[in-house]
Amino acid sequence: MTSETITAAAAGTWKLGDLTVNRIGLGAMRLPQNGEAFGDAAPSDRGRAIAVLRRAVELGVNHIDTAAFYFSALRSANELINRALAPYPDDLVIATKVWPGRDPSGKWWWATPEQLRGQVEENLRQLGRDHLDVVNLRIPPSRVTGSVTEHFGALAELREAGLIRHLGLSNATAAHLAEAQAIAPVVCVQNPYGLGLRPRDHVLPQACAERGIAFVPFFAIAGSGEEAGVSGVDSEEVLAVARAHGVSAARVRLAWTLGQGPNVLAIPGTGDPDHVADNIAAGALRLSADEMARLDFLHRAGG
């Protein structure tokens, strides 16, 4: 079976509330620009970005992660999604995130609870929708030990008003999850995590699994490179597994991520239509117990 014939269904499914998604999706962060860094990279090729989105959906991706603050000098991820995919497939779930924002010049700002409605409405306008499937509250580093009650409570009110279908958290701790769950249902937690990039709150992945909540790692391919992206130099352990299966190191990293539990979803981002098929094919890659153990050891070692 070639990567071109493997669809996202090979990864299996999970439910975000009442919305069923394939466990491998697409992250939209890289679509507006060439490279990872906001504001520092050249705008992407519009046609190429649209091709990435259409190829992903063609191969069964029905979970796309985006944000209104994903934009470059000429491109907006939400606008690209709208242009490429509207009218949207009935099963497509688009997740976005609020609390951080960027003004037209690209300068970052953080919303007050009262300003979250404006951020939600901005996503609605850009995506051309009357409601958002999933909105994640992206928690700033300054709140790692602080409360999210006021901000999450504001999103819960927008959910009750029908602007949002389901709520999630991003950059959260187990304490944030417990605090939010006391206010409204949480369907997912989206945090940095990947092979060599250990969770900042080690209790959180298991806490999500026990509660039936999706754990959605970002940087699953980049690993410890995080925003800087993949270094291009993988460890011999990863390369050995890749050679044994005749696949890319990125596919091995994604397969390891999906192997962390049935509630784990992957949202790898790419600006290359050819990489889309390779990433999706990770859902069909079954690593042996020995391979998983070797990669687990590498992960614990940081790398």
How many CB atoms are closer than 10 A to CB 260?
19
Question: Does residue 87 have a cis bond before it (omega within 30 degrees)?
Answer: yes
Q: What are phi and psi of 257, to 5 degrees?
A: -60, -50
Annotated catalytic residue within 19, 27, 66, 70 = 70
Tokens standing for residue 90: 């009935």
Q: Is 119 helix (H, G, I), strand (E, B) or coil?
A: helix
Could you tell me whether strands 93-98 and 132-138 are parallel, antiparallel, or unpaired per DSSP bridges?
A: parallel
Instruction: Note if 70 is an active site residue.
Output: yes
Cα-based distances in Å from 11 to 60, 92, 107, 178, 267: 10, 16, 38, 29, 12
Distance in angstroms (rounded) separating the CA atoms of residues 164 and 190: 17
Residues forming the active site: 70
